[in-house]
């Protein structure tokens, strides 16, 4: 097994970290702990929450709301942002709306653009598209200001769709660009000499807009699939459902050539705790956990990077985040070896 510590040492140039997994398994906690770790290594680190409901403020026990990047008090080099879905969606809606209007105007289609805009912005994946767009923005814009960005993504289905979307997005963009070029050159060919056609085509604002979207998209795709710079970590608990979600997730992500950093197993009930207890409940839980850990070892063994103990209380406050970061790197349940 390659531990998290070994993995991080072997990947000194990581810049984009993602945590994924079923709801409630500890994605935000592990994202925070990873960000904390990078910051304490002296890397300028940004922890970005892209969830509809945020929990960074509660984890760090300080106000990180408002959608702006704020320094995390008490840790050098660490800043955090809870991206406001509402603002992102509103801005994205405006952009789409502008594009639809421009397109209809350019195509000389004298219709009310509103129904077209409505269709575009009420599709079920719209919010995710908007968040994906925002994430792309951050990857491109903040990469000079920060050495490492840790993204705390939303629920599993959402993140998978984000990734799936990126392929469709690229396809859609290149089609749009091609058809725009064709239409333009036909029109321009009538008005200009042949050697001037490409020059004129390049001046077209709609095409320029599409080209810059495409360039940004390709840039992000390159970053997202770059195994030295990017790693997706999947978080699970020793329970059936979260494990199967992680397996499904790893298969999907690998199909998109997105590098998997590994699996973080959260919420481990320590043997000492279980055995010291008079509660039959805890001892039963411990036995049950052994079964699930066996499954994890069998199905995901080589991908497992670390274990995080189940704490007697929630992860709240800086020193608890520090504990998670430390345990994530050093805690090893004594029963793992013999499973």
Residues that bind Mg ion (CB under 5 A): 27-28
Considering the rule CB under 6 A, would residue 310 count as an interface residue with ligand ATP? yes
Gap between the Cα atoms of 336 and 339, Å rounded: 5
How many CB atoms sit inside 10 A of residue 284's CB?
Answer: 11
Nearer to ligand ATP, 51 or 79 (CB): 51
Gap between the Cα atoms of 188 and 193, Å rounded: 9
* Number of shown-chain residues binding ligand ATP (CB under 6 A): 18
Considering the rule CB under 6 A, would residue 51 count as an interface residue with ligand ATP? yes
Strand ranges inside 176-284, DSSP E: 230-236, 260-268
Q: Which among 26, 17, 16 has a CA at the least distance from the CA of 264? A: 26
Q: Are 264 and 258 in contact (CB under 8 A)?
A: no
Q: Are 313 and 264 in contact (CB under 8 A)?
A: no
User: Out of ligand ATP, Mg ion, none, which partner does residue 318 contact, by CB within 5 to 8 A per kind?
Assistant: none
Strand ranges inside the chain, DSSP E: 16-20, 45-49, 70-71, 78-82, 148-152, 230-236, 260-268, 304-309
Nearer to ligand ATP, 21 or 259 (CB): 21
User: Out of ligand ATP, Mg ion, none, which partner does residue 66 contact, by CB within 5 to 8 A per kind?
Assistant: none
- Which of 8, 15, 16, 27 is close enough to bind ligand ATP by CB under 6 A? 27
Nearer to ligand ATP, 55 or 229 (CB): 55
Helix, strand, coil % over all residues of the chain, rounded to 5: 60, 15, 30
Nearer to ligand ATP, 25 or 64 (CB): 25
Least Å distance, CB 25 to ligand ATP, is 5
Q: Which residues contact 143 (CB under 8 A, 6 or more apart)?
A: 15, 149, 223
C-alpha count within 13 angstroms, C-beta hemisphere, residue 72 = 29
Q: Return the range that interacts with ligand ATP (CB under 6 A); candidates 17-25, 91-99, 139-147, 211-219.
A: 17-25
| 332 secondary structure, DSSP code | -
Least Å distance, CB 130 to Mg ion, is 19
Least Å distance, CB 54 to ligand ATP, is 9
Gap between the Cα atoms of 324 and 108, Å rounded: 59
Least Å distance, CB 125 to Mg ion, is 20
Least Å distance, CB 61 to ligand ATP, is 11
Least Å distance, CB 298 to ligand ATP, is 23
Considering the rule CB under 6 A, would residue 311 count as an interface residue with ligand ATP? yes
Q: Which residues of the shown chain bind ligand ATP in the complex (CB under 6 A)?
A: 21, 23-29, 51, 55, 155, 266-267, 308, 310-311, 314-315
């Amino acid at each position: 097994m390659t531990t998290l510590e070994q993995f991080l040492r072997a990947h000194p140039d990581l810049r984009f970290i993602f945590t994924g997994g079923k709801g409630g398994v500890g994605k935000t906690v592990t994202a925070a702990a990873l960000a904390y770790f990078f910051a304490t290594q002296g890397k300028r680190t940004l922890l970005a929450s892209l969830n509809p409901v945020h929990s960074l403020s509660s984890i760090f026990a300080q106000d990180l709301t408002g959608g702006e990047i704020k320094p995390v008090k008490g840790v050098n080099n660490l800043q955090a942002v809870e991206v406001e879905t509402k603002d992102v969606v509103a801005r994205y809606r405006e952009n789409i709306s502008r594009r639809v209007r421009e397109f209809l105007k350019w195509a000389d289609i004298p219709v009310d653009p509103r129904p077209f805009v409505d269709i575009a912005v009420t599709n079920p994946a719209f919010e995710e598209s908007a968040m994906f767009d925002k994430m792309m923005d951050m990857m491109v814009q903040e990469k000079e200001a920060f050495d490492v960005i840790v993204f705390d993504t939303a629920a599993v289905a959402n993140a998978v769709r984000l990734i799936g979307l990126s392929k469709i997005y690229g396809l859609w963009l290149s089609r749009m660009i091609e058809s725009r070029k064709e239409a333009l050159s036909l029109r321009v060919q009538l008005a200009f000499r042949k050697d001037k056609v490409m020059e004129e085509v390049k001046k077209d604002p709609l095409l320029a807009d599409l080209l810059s979207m495409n360039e940004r998209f390709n840039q992000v795709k390159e970053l997202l699939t770059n195994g030295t710079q990017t790693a997706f970590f999947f978080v699970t608990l020793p329970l059936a459902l979260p494990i199967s979600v992680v397996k499904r997730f790893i298969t999907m992500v690998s199909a998109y050539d997105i590098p998997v950093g590994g699996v973080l197993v959260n919420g481990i009930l320590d043997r000492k705790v279980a055995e010291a207890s008079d509660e039959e409940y805890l001892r039963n839980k411990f036995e049950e956990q052994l079964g699930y850990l066996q499954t994890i070892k069998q199905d995901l063994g080589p991908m497992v990077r670390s274990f995080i103990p189940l704490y007697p209380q929630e992860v709240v406050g800086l020193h608890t985040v520090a504990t998670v970061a430390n345990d994530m790197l050093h805690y090893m349940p004594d029963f793992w070896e013999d499973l």
